[in-house]
Amino acid sequence: MSVSVEEGLALLKRRLVEINDVRSAGAVLGWDQATHMPIGGAASRARQRATLSRLAHQKATDAELGCLLDTLHSQRQGVLEPDSSLVRVARRDFEKASKVPAGFVERASAHQSQSYAAWTRAREENDFAAMVPYLTKSVELSREYAEFFAPFEHVCDPLINEADEGMTVAEIRRIFSELRPALIDMTREIDDQARLDNSCLKGMFNEDQQIAFGLLVVEKIGYDLSRGRLDKTVHPFSTRFSSGDVRITTRVRTDEISESFFSTLHEAGHALYEQGVSEELDGTSLGRGASAGLHESQARLWENIVGRSYPFWEYWYPVLQNRFPGSYADVSLDGFYAAINRVERSLIRTDADEVTYNLHIMMRFDLELEMLEGRLNVKDLPEAWRARMCEDLGIEPETNREGCLQDVHWYAGHIGGAFQGYTIGNVLGAQFYETALQAHPDIPQQLQRGDYSQLLDWLRTEVHQHGRRYQPNELIVRATGKPLHVAPYLKYLCEKFDALYSLPVSKDRSDQLVTVQSNGALPTTGGG
Ligand code: ZN
């Protein structure tokens, strides 16, 4: 192909924007299906979405695109940023997509749709046995997928790399082995304390007023409603069609006020990331968030570190009291703050508090590795689940519905790669926040005033604007000066929950962490 670098780049962008347009059209159909579509549209909608996915996959693996990328790669000395990053990332995406045969993509996606439909029934009826054949096939397909990327150190590495590029089983085990003992200790210490009262979160709360309050808060934080909107759905999510259209959804219960609010804030965190990606990258391979863990870090930072903090509610609690006078006229700010931060050993991951949440994730991560390695038979999953719940949280589910059937991930996708991002996000959120605080020590005072500009500016500059220009690990080091590490997160949890629950050993642990931090990285404890 004899084209100049400029012509080649223009051609590349035209092709990438076209692929992106097909995918965005599919995303609009998905959003519509989850928000407004009548039930009668289900069958034709599944077909329409499958057609668009197939078209996008064809375009993304077109041999001419491969030639163009090879040519541009060979001319890379003459390509400036951000185009040189674009060529690098687009080439990697192309190679990855080309390794997976179209036949496999179709087989896997047909199986996943059937498995999802079976799971919605099985979960309702608490019937794990019905899912055993589906789950067994999912394990096989996940292994088959991994084989396209051989050689690898662990069969789950390619599946993890799909969501969290550059991460491996070995690295995640190292991080988790540093977190787990500390979190189990904290959960035990807190359990010995009197439980905080959260009854003020229950009652009768008008649906429209809840949505209006959530919207008021996320707009104040910086979610741009001229480039976004909020709708109701069964499972909250955020979705990007372009830099000018990034939407969020929420689920509302009229008998409880916190679920809708915090899920709105969480999804707005995802959406702020997408709205903050530099506009010049829009429609190309660089024009979106860099990984599942990075995305989750933004959602968790706003939901938990900011949204469950005392300074945040010093500003918003009077507004909430004003909007729900019947429920909050007699509840103090301290009482409300304690209620939204209550720690409780619970069976359901999505209801879990900040201290116990990661224990739910680590358990799923270990169990999926065991299934992929062939060390755990799918039929024995419920027993393994109960045993691990007992070990880590001291409680066990009476039904599989509250156990291994609760999450959709294993029943509508691959086994492996879908859970680690949540905990990576929690850890990273604290690491980003700590660095932002070093640059702007008065952020907490700004939160008291309902001012989010410095924090958001820092995140925009250091994280959001870059999209996928840097590999996740590279972006983390650029932004914080260090690779991903657990010390800031454990320090954050210790300080916060020590103040709420007076933890006996948290002081020692904090001191220990400060020492470890000043020496650089945390000690490596190896896999396990
Ligand atoms: Zn999320």
Task: Write out pLDDT tens, residues 62-76.
Answer: 999 999 999 999 999
Of the candidates 267, 274, 368, 462, the residue annotated as catalytic is 267
Q: Is the peptide bond before 472 cis (omega within 30 degrees of 0)?
A: no
Confidence (pLDDT) at 524 = 31
CA of 332 to the centre of ligand 1 (A): 30
Query: What one-letter code names the amino acid at 137?
Result: K
Q: Phi/psi of residue 197, each to 5°?
A: -85, 125
Contacts within 8 Å (CB) and 24+ apart, 380-387: 381/128, 381/135, 382/128
Which token pair is 523?
């000690």
CA of 76 to the centre of ligand 1 (A): 36
User: Residues 200-215: what's their mean pLDDT?
Assistant: 97
* Burial track 439-454 (b if 16+ CB lie within 10 A, e otherwise): ebeebbebbbeeebeb
Domains of the chain are: 5-125 (1.20.58)
232 forms beta bridges with 250
CA of 424 to the centre of ligand 1 (A): 12
Which token pair is 41?
């549209």
Distances (CA, A) of 177 to 84, 173, 474, 524, 528: 38, 6, 23, 9, 7
For the chain, what is the mean pLDDT? 93
> Considering only 196-210, 219-233, 314-328, 498-512, which range has the smallest mean pLDDT?
498-512
Is the model's pLDDT at 528 over the cut of 50?
Answer: no
Is the model's pLDDT at 525 over the cut of 80?
Answer: no
pLDDT, tens digit, 9 for 90 and up, residues 439-490: 999 999 999 999 999 999 999 999 999 999 999 999 999 999 999 999 999 9
Confidence (pLDDT) at 346 = 93
Of 212, 219, 450, nearest in space to 312 by CA: 450
CA of 159 to the centre of ligand 1 (A): 19
Q: Is 267 an annotated catalytic residue?
A: yes
- Could you give the 3-state DSSP secondary structure of residue 188? helix
- pLDDT band, very low/low/confident/very high, at 502 (cuts 50, 70, 90): confident
CA of 269 to the centre of ligand 1 (A): 8
The pTM of the full predicted model, rounded to 2 decimals, is 0.93
User: Residues 121-147: what's their mean pLDDT?
Assistant: 97
The rounded distance, in Å, linking the Cα atoms of 219 and 214 is 9
